[in-house]
Structure 1
Amino acid sequence: MNNTVNTTQESKTTLPKPENFKDIFSQHSDKEYAAAVKSAQERVSSFLKNTAKPFTGIRPDEMKRMVEAIDLDEPLPDYQSLFDEVDEIYVNHATAYHLPQYIAHLNCPVVIPALAAEVLISAINSSQDTYDQSAGGTFIERKLIDWTSEQIGYQDGDGIFTAGGSQSNLMGLLLARDYYALEYQKWNIKLDGLPADASKFRVFVSDKAHFSNHKNSWILGLGEQAVVHVGVDERYRMDPEKLESAIASEIQKGNIPIAITATAGTTDFGNIDPLQPIAAIAKRYNIWLHVDAAYGCGLLLTDNHRHLLKGIELADSVTVDYHKSFFQPISSSAFIVKNKLHLNIIKHHADYLNPKEQDYDALPAQINKSIIQSTRRFDALKLWFTLRYLGREKLGQYTDTIIDTAQQAAALIESDQNFELLCHSDMGVLVFRYLDGPAESNSCEVNKYIKEKLFFTGDVLVASTKVNGEFFLKFTIFNPLTTVNDIQNILNQIKQKGNGYHRLN
C-alpha cells in the first residue's frame, strides 16, 4: 500500500506544468500565439512594402542550395531567427501575384476579408467532415454551396468545397462514369469495380480543355485513351458540330460516350465553349455534361457578362474555383451538381464516422459528399467573410474591370506592328507573339528568349504556350489593379528584350 501511495505522489510531482506546453495552441498560450502572429503580420507588411517587382530572378540551383544547407534537426532559438530564415528561403523570393507586372498564370490577388478568415480557420482548426467536428461550419459551407448553386441556375443542387479545380473535375468524371453504369448497365462500380466494357467508355473534351481531364481519366481506370479530343472554332472553343461528329464516330466504332466536359474559361485563351448547343447534344445522346468553370466562374458575379455562361444551368455538374475568380486564398474551390441525389453515388459509411443508421437530416455530415478528403479545412469561411463584407456586386465589379482591361490590352497589341494577337478573349487571357516586322521563321526562338530574360530579371512575369507547334507569349490579366498603362509598359519591355535578341543574333 505504501509503495502505491508513493508512486502516485511521485507521478503528481513530475507532471509538466502548462507553461511547459506554451507552443501548443491552448488557453495557456494566448501570449505566445499573439506574439507569433504579430511577427508574421509584420513580415507580410514588409513583403507588401518592399516588394517592387514580381520576382527576384533567383536561379533554381541557388534556391536549392539555400534550402538544403539547413539542418532540420537543429531547432532555432526564437521566432526572430525563424522568420529571418524563412525570409531568406521563401518570402524574399516569393512570386508577388498582387503586382501588375505579374501577368502570367491564373493566380489572383486576394481580398483582405478572406485573409482575416484564414486566421480563424488555422487557429480553431475545424474539420468539415462531420457536424461534431465543425458545428456552424457545416451550415456555413452548405449555405455557400446553395448560394453558388443558385447563381449557376440550379433549383435542387448540392455540392461540396474541394481543394481545387482538378479535384472537382475528377468528381465530375467519377459521377459521370458511375451514373452511366448504374443507370444504363445496372452495374455498381463502387461495389463491383469497372464493368467489362469500361475500356469502351469515352469522354469528350476540346483540344484546349484542362489537362486534369486526361489525368482524371487515368486515375479512374479508363486510361487517357478514353479521352476524345474535339476540334475547336476560330476562337479555340469547342465546336458543337465537331462534337456531334466525334460522338457519332465513337458510337459507330462500338464505343460508349459517357461524358462531355465543356470549358467555361480555357486556360490558354479565357474563352467559353458554347454551352447551350453542347448541352443540347448531351441531352440528345444521354451523356453527362460537366462544365469546368474553374476560371469562368467569376462571370457568375457580374450582370454585365453573366450572359457568357448561358447554358451552364443545363449541365449535370460544375467546377467552381473561388481561389481564381472570387479572389480567395488557395485553396477554395467547389464541386456542384444539378441533382443533389447524384451525390449518393459516392457516399460510403464508416461506423466511427458516418454510420449508416444516422439521421443525416438531423445530424449532417459533409463527409458523405467527399471522395478523397476526410479531414478537410473550413475554407468556406473565407468566402463567407468575403461575401458578407464585400458582397457579390463588388466582386463582380472586379471581374468587369479585368475584362475591360483585357479588351483594351488586346487593342494595344493589335495596333502595334511588333505584335501578333492570336485571339480575343471572353475574359482576360491574351495569346500573342513579338514580331520584328513580318512573321519570321525564328519567332519561336525570339519569344522564348524574351520570356526567359523577363523571368530572370524578375521585372515582368508572363506565361507562354504552344499553338499548332508555335511558341507564343501569354498575358493572364487577373488583377483589377492592373491598368492599361501597366500593359503598355510591359509591352515596351517585351519589345526591348526582343530588340536585344536581334542585337545578339
Structure 2
Amino acid sequence: MTSTTTGSLYDPAGTAAGLENVRSLVNLALDVLQEVAADRGGPVAPGGAHGAREAAAKALVEPLLPEHGSAPTAVLDDLVRSYAQWSVDLTHPAALARMQPPPTASGVAAELVAATLNQSLHAWESGPFALDLDRWVISQLAGLVGYGVGAGGTLTAGGSVSNLMALVAARDETLAVKLGRSVFQEGLPALGVQPVVVCPEGIHFSIGRAARVLGIGEDHVVTVPTDAQGRMIPAEADRILTELPADRVAVALVACAGSTDLGIVDPLPELAEIARRHGVWLHADAAYGAGALFSDELRGMLDGLAEADSVTLDLHKFGWSPASSAALLVRREETLLPFGLSPTTCLSADDDTCAGYIGSQNTSLQTTRRVDALKIAVTMRTLGKERLGAMVDTCHGLARHAAARIAAEPRLELFVDPPLTAVLFRYLPADGLDVDAFNGKLRRRLLEDGRALLARTHVEVDGRSRVFLKLMLLNPDTTPAQLDAILDELLAVAAALEVELGD
C-alpha cells in the first residue's frame, strides 16, 4: 500500500496541497486538449461509428480498477487524450447535429469549482451556500418566465427529467383536486379512474416515456390535431377534454413552447384558458424554445408562458451553460410536494427545519445532487441580458441565412422557414434513387468523413413520414460564409454519392 507525500492514502482536492495538484493536473489536461485541437481537421475524427469503437477498444485495454494505481499524470494524459480525440468539437462551424452549444469559459471554470468542492443539495450540512444559491437561481429563472411570488422549481439533469417531474406533479395535483384523494399515498389502482395526458401531435418523445414510467401508459396519451403550422388547435383540445368519459380523467395538457425540430409554439394563452376551465394542469415544454426569452425580437413567441402551471427549460441549449443545466419551474411551489420526504427520515427533522437548516430533498427526484446552479449563475451573469440576447439573435440570423441558401439550391428542399434555429431540409437525388434512403446515407457519409455533423429527423409529407436533415445553429461565432462552405461541401458529397449509387 502506498500513500502520497502528504501522508494521505489518496489525493483529496480540497486541501492546500490538493488544490495545487488540481492546478497542475488541470494544466496538463488543458495542454492535451490544445494539442488535440491543433490536429483537428473537422468537427469529429473521421472513421464513423466503427472508427470510434476501434479507438475505444485500443484505449481501454487496462481494467477500470487495476491492482495497483498509476500516477494521475499518466492516467489523465492517456484517457483525456483518447477522450478528446474522439469528442465532437462543438466550436467547429460544421458541428450542427445536436443541441449542444460550446459552453462559456466562465461556466466551465465554475464547473471545476463545483467538482472540487463537491457540495450537495440534499441537506444543509452538505452545502450551506450552495442551497441558497440554488434557490436564488430558481427564483430568478421563475421571474424570467413571468412567474410571480409563490413560484418554485428545481434544477434537473435535462428536459426529459423535467417533463417527467412535471407530469408527476400534474397527475397528483389534478387528481387530488378532482377526487380529493392522494395518489402518492394510495396509488393509482385504488382511485378507480384512468389518468389521461393530452398533447399535440409531434410532442417530444419524453412525454410518452413519462406516461409509461408513471403507470399512465402511452395508450392514454391523447393527441390533439394540429393546424397547417403544426400548432395545437385549441378548439380540438377543448373538444377532447369535454368528450372524455367520466372514468378517464385528464391530468395534464402539454403544450410545445419551441419544438426541437420546427420551433413550434402552441397557442399558450388560449390553451391556458381551456386548461383552467377543465381543471387540467398546463405544462409547457420550453426546453429549447425558452431561448427566445432572451431575445427582444423573439420573446413574443412565448406570450402566455407564465400562464402554464409548469415550464421546462434547458440552459445547456440556448444558454451556453455546460450540461447539465436544466430546470423545472412551477407556478405554485407547493405543487412539488409529491417529491417530499416522510418527516421520519434522517434528512427532515422538524426542529432543524424550524431553525432554518433546510435541504432541497423535498423538491427533487434526487437526494445527492450536484450544484448546477453555480455554472448557470456564473454563465448568465458573465454574459448579461444584452449579450445573451445578441447571441440568440445571431443564431436565428444564421438559421435564416442557411434557409435562404437552401431554398435557392435546386437540388435541396427546405421544409419550412425556421422560427428559431433549427433548419430542416433534404437533398433531392436523381430519379430512381429513394429520397429517404439517400438522405440517410448522405448524412452517414458526412459523419464517416468527419466533414460535418448533421442530425436527421422524420416529418410528415403528404401523409408519409419522410427523412429530413437538420442543421442546429447554436454557435454564434459561426459565420454565414462558413455555413455556405458547409452546404457547398454537402452538395459535392451528395453529387458524388449519386454517381456512386447510380453505377
TM-score, structure 1 normalization: 0.91
| Secondary structure at 1:423 match in 2 | coil
> Which residue of 2 is the match for residue 141 of structure 1?
134
Q: Deviation string for 1:196-236 (max 9, x for gaps)?
A: 45662110122221111111111111111121122222232
> Which residue of 2 is the match for residue 8 of structure 1?
none
Q: Deviation string for 1:64-89 (max 9, x for gaps)?
A: 52255333343564344323321453
Residue 440 (structure 2) pairs with residue 452 (structure 1): no
| Secondary structure at 2:327 match in 1 | strand
User: Partners in 1 of 2:192 and 2:31 — Cα distance?
Assistant: 55
Deviation at 1:41, TM superposition (A): 2.2
Q: Deviation string for 1:408-443 (max 9, x for gaps)?
A: 211111121111111222211111111147x87611
> For the pair shown, which has the larger CA radius of gyration, 1 or 2?
1
Unaligned runs of 5+ in 1: 1-13
C-alpha spacing 1:48/1:277, structure 2 compared with 1 (3 Å): farther
Moved more, 468-477 or 253-262: 253-262
Deviation at 1:402, TM superposition (A): 0.8
What is the 5 A alignment of 1:294-373? 294-349=287-342, 350-359=344-353, 362-370=356-364, 372-373=365-366
Q: 380, 386, 389: which is aligned to 1:387?
A: 380
Q: Deviation string for 1:19-50 (max 9, x for gaps)?
A: 34352223443432322122122223334444
1:272 alignment partner AA: V
> Which residue of 2 is the match for residue 11 of structure 1?
none
2:414 alignment partner AA: L
What is the 5 A alignment of 1:385-424? 385-424=378-417
> Which residue of 1 is the match for residue 456 of structure 2?
464
Matched residues, number: 489
Q: 170, 178, 182: which is aligned to 2:172?
A: 178
| Secondary structure at 1:258 match in 2 | strand
Residues 22 and 28 in structure 1, CA contact (< 8 A), matched pair in contact too: no
Residues 409 and 487 in structure 1, CA contact (< 8 A), matched pair in contact too: yes
What is the 5 A alignment of 1:125-136? 125-136=118-129
Moved more, 477-486 or 37-46: 37-46
Residue 209 (structure 2) pairs with residue 220 (structure 1): no
Q: 21, 29, 36: which is aligned to 2:9?
A: 21
C-alpha spacing 1:46/1:237, structure 2 compared with 1 (3 Å): farther
Q: 473, 484, 488: which is aligned to 2:480?
A: 484
User: Partners in 1 of 2:446 and 2:224 — Cα distance?
Assistant: 35
Q: 32, 37, 52: which is aligned to 1:43?
A: 32
User: Partners in 2 of 1:36 and 1:15 — Cα distance?
Assistant: 18
Identical-pair percentage = 29
Deviation at 1:193, TM superposition (A): 1.1
User: Partners in 1 of 2:473 and 2:144 — Cα distance?
Assistant: 24
Q: Deviation string for 1:455-485 (max 9, x for gaps)?
A: 0001100000112321111111111112222
| Secondary structure at 1:368 match in 2 | coil
User: Partners in 2 of 1:172 and 1:225 — Cα distance?
Assistant: 19
User: Partners in 1 of 2:57 and 2:311 — Cα distance?
Assistant: 43
Deviation at 1:146, TM superposition (A): 0.9
2:230 alignment partner AA: Y
C-alpha spacing 1:199/1:450, structure 2 compared with 1 (3 Å): farther
Q: 52, 70, 92: which is aligned to 2:41?
A: 52
> Which residue of 1 is the match for residue 202 of structure 2?
208
Deviation at 1:270, TM superposition (A): 2.1
2:396 alignment partner AA: I
**Alignment root-mean-square deviation, CA:** 2.3
2:466 alignment partner AA: E
Moved more, 268-277 or 143-152: 268-277
Deviation at 1:275, TM superposition (A): 1.3
> Which residue of 2 is the match for residue 161 of structure 1?
155
Residues 208 and 268 in structure 1, CA contact (< 8 A), matched pair in contact too: no
2:57 alignment partner AA: R
Residue 170 (structure 2) pairs with residue 187 (structure 1): no
Deviation at 1:63, TM superposition (A): 3.5
Residues 420 and 435 in structure 1, CA contact (< 8 A), matched pair in contact too: yes
| Secondary structure at 2:362 match in 1 | helix
Deviation at 1:254, TM superposition (A): 4.7
Deviation at 1:195, TM superposition (A): 4.3
C-alpha spacing 1:16/1:80, structure 2 compared with 1 (3 Å): closer
> Which residue of 2 is the match for residue 245 of structure 1?
239
Residues 235 and 424 in structure 1, CA contact (< 8 A), matched pair in contact too: no
C-alpha spacing 1:361/1:111, structure 2 compared with 1 (3 Å): farther
Deviation at 1:53, TM superposition (A): 1.1
Unaligned runs of 5+ in 2: none
> Which residue of 1 is the match for residue 94 of structure 2?
101
Residues 187 and 195 in structure 1, CA contact (< 8 A), matched pair in contact too: no
What is the 5 A alignment of 1:227-306? 227-249=221-243, 251-252=244-245, 254-306=247-299
Residues 29 and 80 in structure 2, CA contact (< 8 A), matched pair in contact too: no
| Secondary structure at 1:446 match in 2 | helix
User: Partners in 2 of 1:288 and 1:467 — Cα distance?
Assistant: 28
User: Partners in 1 of 2:168 and 2:354 — Cα distance?
Assistant: 23
Residues 162 and 334 in structure 1, CA contact (< 8 A), matched pair in contact too: yes
User: Partners in 2 of 1:253 and 1:409 — Cα distance?
Assistant: 50
Moved more, 129-138 or 229-238: 229-238
Residues 3 and 9 in structure 2, CA contact (< 8 A), matched pair in contact too: no
1:451 alignment partner AA: R
| Secondary structure at 2:457 match in 1 | strand
